[in-house]
């Protein structure tokens, strides 16, 4: 059987109900697609479903979502802690479990064996090579990256990441599914950092080097980008939101792949050692306690 088109996708499974999984499930359900939100932890499933409910409620309060659309979206959404139950009869799976290669490979080997070749298998990994996840999957041509951004129900971009083995049909289905979800898909070759992190992290690292050498304050460097270049948020505030530790580990990975231009500045390492991780710890380049 050949790959299904996006219009033929009626039921999906989202694997992992955390930050990204619940957001992806929210958008799928809001786009008219049935979703089974799967996690190994029952409390994560409950929390994920509750977050979708809360975000849809907020949408209704703000007048951005019709109450009837919220109710219909919630009716399309269910939770599960049983993988076989979650994936039975689905036409697409989007995986959003923790960023560990072996974990994702184990899941994709299982999915590949249990689901027909017409089913799109997508991973939301932000940095792992899609080709290595696909390499363990029977019929790897149906595997692509679908890299969403946090918070998924707000951010417009999805990177469709294409391996050498991804079929044109799988890429077309992923792009059309992204559009059906109201996103702007871009198609990117499977290379480290894809299009987004590679550029975004480099800008963040240079901004940190500028703070380190006293070029300007963090606020003023951010203003240079927001007011001078029209970025919605400066690179230092964005680093605080993502987490300085998270950005450090991406920089270390990209340095291995691309060399010195991704070397982390000493200030970044010092901040991580001091526990100044950004918003989540209350302090980064900005004070978040207030």
Stretch that binds ligand NAD, among 35-43, 53-61, 167-175, 232-240 (CB under 6 A): 35-43
Cβ-contact 11, 77 below 8 angstroms: no
Answer for which of 3, 9, 37, 44 binds ligand NAD (CB under 6 A) is 44
Indicate the burial class of 178 (C-beta count within 10 angstroms; 0-12, 13-18, 19 or more): buried
Cβ atoms within 10 Å, residue 53:
16
Answer for which of 8, 150, 168, 213 binds ligand NAD (CB under 6 A) is 150
For ligand NAD, how many residues bind (rule: CB under 6 A)? 21
Q: Is 39 in the site for ligand NAD (CB under 6 A)?
A: yes
Q: Which of 159, 206, 212, 257 is catalytic?
A: 159
Answer for which of 6, 9, 21, 201 binds ligand NAD (CB under 6 A) is 21
Nearest approach, Cβ of 78 to ligand NAD (angstroms)? 15
Q: Kindly report the CA angle at 280 between 275 and 283, in degrees rounded to 5?
A: 55
Q: Is 115 in the site for ligand NAD (CB under 6 A)?
A: no
In terms of CB distance, is 16 or 278 closer to ligand NAD?
A: 16
Answer for which of 103, 199, 227, 266 binds ligand NAD (CB under 6 A) is 103
Cβ-contact 135, 184 below 8 angstroms: no
In terms of CB distance, is 73 or 152 closer to ligand NAD?
A: 152
Cβ-contact 187, 195 below 8 angstroms: no
Cβ-contact 238, 192 below 8 angstroms: no
Distance, CA of 25 to CA of 273 (rounded, Å):
35
Cβ-contact 94, 15 below 8 angstroms: yes
Q: Is 63 in the site for ligand NAD (CB under 6 A)?
A: no
Q: Tell me the residue nearest to ligand NAD as measured from the CB.
A: 18
Q: Catalytic residue at 99?
A: no
Q: Is 125 in the site for ligand NAD (CB under 6 A)?
A: yes
Distance, CA of 146 to CA of 40 (rounded, Å):
21
Q: Is 41 in the site for ligand NAD (CB under 6 A)?
A: yes
Distance, CA of 156 to CA of 196 (rounded, Å):
13
Q: Is 168 in the site for ligand NAD (CB under 6 A)?
A: no
- The residue ranges that bind ligand NAD (CB under 6 A) are 15-21, 38-41, 44, 96-99, 103, 124-126, 150
Catalytic residues: 159
């Amino acid at each position: 059987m050949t790959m299904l088109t996006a219009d033929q996708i009626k039921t999906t499974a989202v694997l992992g109900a955390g930050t990204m999984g619940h957001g992806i499930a929210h958008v799928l359900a809001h786009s008219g697609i049935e979703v089974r939100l799967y996690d190994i932890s029952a409390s994560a499933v409950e929390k994920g479903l509750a977050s979708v409910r809360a975000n849809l409620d907020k949408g209704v309060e703000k007048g951005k979502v019709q109450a009837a659309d919220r109710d219909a979206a919630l009716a399309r959404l269910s939770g599960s802690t049983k993988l076989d139950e979650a994936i039975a009869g689905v036409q697409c799976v989007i995986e959003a479990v923790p960023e560990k290669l072996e974990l994702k490979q184990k899941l994709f080997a299982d999915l590949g064996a249990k689901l027909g070749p017409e089913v799109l298998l997508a991973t939301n990994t932000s940095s792992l090579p899609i080709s290595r996840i696909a390499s363990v999957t029977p019929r790897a041509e149906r595997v692509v990256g679908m890299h969403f951004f946090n918070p998924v129900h707000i951010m417009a971009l999805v990177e469709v990441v294409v391996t050498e083995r991804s079929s044109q049909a799988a890429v077309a289905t992923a792009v059309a599914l992204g559009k059906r979800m109201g996103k702007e898909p871009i198609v990117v070759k499977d290379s480290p950092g894809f299009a987004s992190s590679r550029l975004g992290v480099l800008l963040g690292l240079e901004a940190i080097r500028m703070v380190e050498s006293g070029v300007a304050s963090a606020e003023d460097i951010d203003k240079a980008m927001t007011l001078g270049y029209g970025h919605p948020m400066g690179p230092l505030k964005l680093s605080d939101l993502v987490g300085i530790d998270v950005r450090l580990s991406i920089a270390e990975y990209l340095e291995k792949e691309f060399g010195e231009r991704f070397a982390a500045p000493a200030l970044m390492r010092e901040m991580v050692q001091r526990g100044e991780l950004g918003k989540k710890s209350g302090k980064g380049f900005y004070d978040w306690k207030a």
